A and B are shown apart, each in its own frame.
Chain A
Amino acid sequence: EAGVTQFPSHSVIEKGQTVTLRCDPISGHDNLYWYRRVMGKEIKFLLHFVKESKQDESGMPNNRFLAERTGGTYSTLKVQPAELEDSGVYFCASSEQGLKAFFGQGTRLTVV
């Protein structure tokens, strides 16, 4: 069974540019989560999809971040325009019911 897949694994962009991160969850998982770890600190929740609907987006830092999950399959997280403080590792996770979430490898974003 394929795990959670994230693209790209690394991205280096200049301040002010746009970057789109993609997450392919495990097939059949209705729940999809985005998290990020900034500057070696704690991993923080960004938002939660149930199928294509945003269940909880309380962790989204500001309106420069836009997440979508069209069709309830893969999800994208767009940062526009990117700022230096957006640098970090962005993790995606998916799950069925219950408490076990499967995480992807993460996308390391560097804004210069």
Chain B
Amino acid sequence: DQQVKQNSPSLSVQEGRISILNCDYTNSMFDYFLWYKKYPAEGPTFLISISSIKDKNEDGRFTVFLNKSAKHLSLHIVPSQPGDSAVYFCAASRLNYGGSQGNLIFGKGTKLSVKP
């Protein structure tokens, strides 16, 4: 049973436009959410995160929105650039006592292609 779902396996966007990647989760105990970016033949790299006490977190061109009632989060990339082309993984966890992350549960990923 998938606890973290990314229902779009791929997304194609024109350079300069907005990319919106979506993620749904089923476990209401999750309280920390992350997005990772992965290029071929490399490990995933952390992009941005949000805790359940917030509904938005912004870092440059990247913004993550969290809708707890809908158990939905999304990553917005504005403006999209060709270098953003990669696989994006949504992940969720519970924060342990002391603030460390519990095990990450990953979605299946969305492959973003940004066309020049």
**Chain A complexes with chain B:** no
A contacts, CB < 8 Å to B: none
B contacts, CB < 8 Å to A: none
